[in-house]
Amino acid sequence: MKKIKLGTSELNVSAISLGCMRLGKLSKNEAANVIHNALEVGIDFFDHADIYAGGKSEEIFADAVDMNPAIREKMFIQTKAGIRKGFYDFSKEHILTAVDGSLKRLKTDYIDVLLLHRPDALFEPEEVAEAFTQLKESGKVRHFGVSNQNPYQIELLKKYVEQDLIANQLQLSIMHTCMIDAGLQVNTLHETAVNRDGSILDYSRLNDMTIQAWSPFQSGLSKGVFIDNEQFPELNAKLQEISEKYEVTKSAIATSWILRHPAKIQPVVGTMNPERLTNIAKASEIVLTREEWYEIYRSAGNELP
């Protein structure tokens, strides 16, 4: 598994992350199988959130690996905070409480990366700054970032926090490419020329901020996974063609498509199937040609100007 440097930090982590949202549905033995398999194939970065399965995903993760210093030093743990039932909350009190809850459930003394989970319209950056400083000085959190935020939201936060914001978790897949589309359609009247996120892709590269791509196999909120989905025959035919060339699965090619971007984007894959994860992990060794990357992009229904 190839490694990437996470933002401006000293963390060298696996190019692919395992998203643990669905871990809460597994038994302890099933979860252990998933996590240890991930480590065996070189995935050492695990993405959590305090809301995943109401906190159960973090609990099962810690129980499944029998969390102890020896296993802890082999992995990087990221979690997110800020979503509550019916609203968002970036208050200092909630951030501190949420981190303490995650630490307890994960049975660890520290979190490698804490992300603010979706923007809070009522957030006060001074409070976030106080929370981050307290968490950093106490050793509870080593690095910080955001999720689903645009450049000006990040800049507002950066005005107050002392710590670098090293990552931004955003939705990206072959079938969800708005952050790429707008850059290709500059100065056209095409619908995809609309800049919906403030050029977050270019902003991230300029500021050495790692984009973590969530839902890398989803076609959207309603059409589900695009792999082997009959609604997308042209895309699946192209993925099949290229997967046969590289002797991997279509999921691995879909992952390698994200990895091919020079922004060094880290896909967050959420499969709880060890065999599928093993196959996806092979994507880190594949470098698609420029022609292949654009062929896949066009096969998903995207047009070039």
Active site residues: 52
User: Which H, E and C letters describe the chain, residue by residue?
Assistant: CCEEECCCCCCEEECCEEECHHHHHCCHHHHHHHHHHHHHCCCCEEECCCCHHHHHHHHHHHHHCCCCHHHHCCCEEEEEECEECCEECCCHHHHHHHHHHHHHHHCCCCEEEEEEECCCCCCCHHHHHHHHHHHHHHCCEEEEEEECCCHHHHHHHHCCCCCCEEEEEEECECCECHHHHHHHCCCCCCHHHCCCCCCHHHHHHHCCCEEEEECCCECCCCCCECCCCCCCHHHHHHHHHHHHHHCCCHHHHHHHHHHCCCCCCEEEECCCCHHHHHHHHHHHHCCCCHHHHHHHHHHCCCCCC
Structure tokens at 35: 């996590």
CB atoms within 10 A of CB 103: 18
- What b/e sequence results for 220-238 when a residue is b if at least 16 CB atoms lie within 10 Å of its CB, and e otherwise? eeeeebbbeeeebeebbeb
Strands 45-47 and 111-117: unpaired
Angle 290-299/250-259 helices, nearest 10 degrees? Answer: 110
